[in-house]
Amino acid sequence: MKKIIVIKCGGSMIDTLSDDFFKGIKNMQEAGFYPIIVHGGGPAINELLENLQINSEFVNGLRKTTHEIMNVVEMVLSGTITNKLVRKLQKHGISSIGVTGSDGGLMYAEPKDLENLGLVGEITRVNQQFLQNLISIGMVPVISPIAMGMNHEDYFNINADTAAAEIAVAVNAEKVVFVTDVPGVLKDNEIIYKATTSEIMEFIEDGTISGGMIPKVMAAIHSLRGGMKEAMIVSGHRPLLDGENIIGTTINKELEAVK
């Protein structure tokens, strides 16, 4: 069975991913892993919307997506961001291909809340065989989180964290990795290497986890609830692998934490 790792890169991280990060993906392949990358692009979308003088609002943390905004989202995610990541991967000798949810029927979705969120979707189906075919020929898929409607005409903006979790479950990935600008969840400036979901919630309550780390760990927990055995929070500024081990915070819903 292929050891698949789904890596989610937030839009704010794309321009600051280090050479070590990409070398780590190459090392990951050489160690027998098959990476799949899912990316966001919020800051770049915000910038283009502002330049085009298109107003945008968020409802419960999700961008309300009109048809006008959807055109911008697709342009940024499937154009600028995907191509930028593919070029960086190719630079480091990693064969990669950019795909959207429409390519090969990769992701189908339905509206999450059409009235309040517009074209924000919930994934209903992932074509895992399409991804298996790509990785079997040595390609690293770079996925922009845009999905097709079941009528093959509508298309939807998908939260990148959710897309990564759904894809990881569909391909029976070994783990899903959320890339951040810190080496993992920290307590007193030390990495917490392992934690259970209940302990993560306690860390949020006592303030150990705060600010922008909260949505990252909640996305990790979401992936566990979706069927993943473990999820990780790692840094985009350092190598992903130390030998055959991925370095960062592992969140697990079954095992007791080791501190």
Domains in the chain (CATH in brackets) are 3-252 (3.40.1160.10)
Q: Which residue has the higher pLDDT, 69 or 2?
A: 69
CA distance 139 to 131: 9
pLDDT confidence of 239, banded at 50, 70, 90? low
Here the tokens at position 199 are 């302990």
Which one is predicted more confidently, 230 or 157?
157
What is d(CA 34, CA 206) in angstroms, rounded to the nearest whole number? 37
Q: What is the mean pLDDT of the chain?
A: 89
pLDDT of 48-94, one tens digit each? Answer: 999 999 999 988 778 999 999 999 999 999 999 999 999 999 999 99
Q: Are 155 and 74 in contact (CB under 8 A)?
A: yes
With a CB cutoff of 8 Å and minimum separation 6, the contacts of 9 are 17, 37, 38, 39, 40, 85, 179, 236
Chain centroid offset of residue 183 CA = 16
State mean pLDDT over 88-104: 94
pLDDT digits (tens, 9 = 90+) for 3-32: 899 999 988 888 888 888 898 899 889 889
Provide the pLDDT for residue 254: 59
% of the chain surpassing 70 pLDDT: 95
Report the pLDDT value the prediction gives residue 171, as an integer from 0 to 100.
Answer: 92
Per the CB < 8 A criterion, the answer to whether 157 and 110 are in contact is no
Asked if residue 139 lies in contact with residue 95, where contact means CB atoms within 8 angstroms, the answer is: yes
When comparing pLDDT for 26 and 211, which is higher?
A: 26
Please state, in angstroms and as integers, the Cα–Cα distance from residue 49 to each residue in 113, 248, 252, following that order. Answer: 22, 34, 38
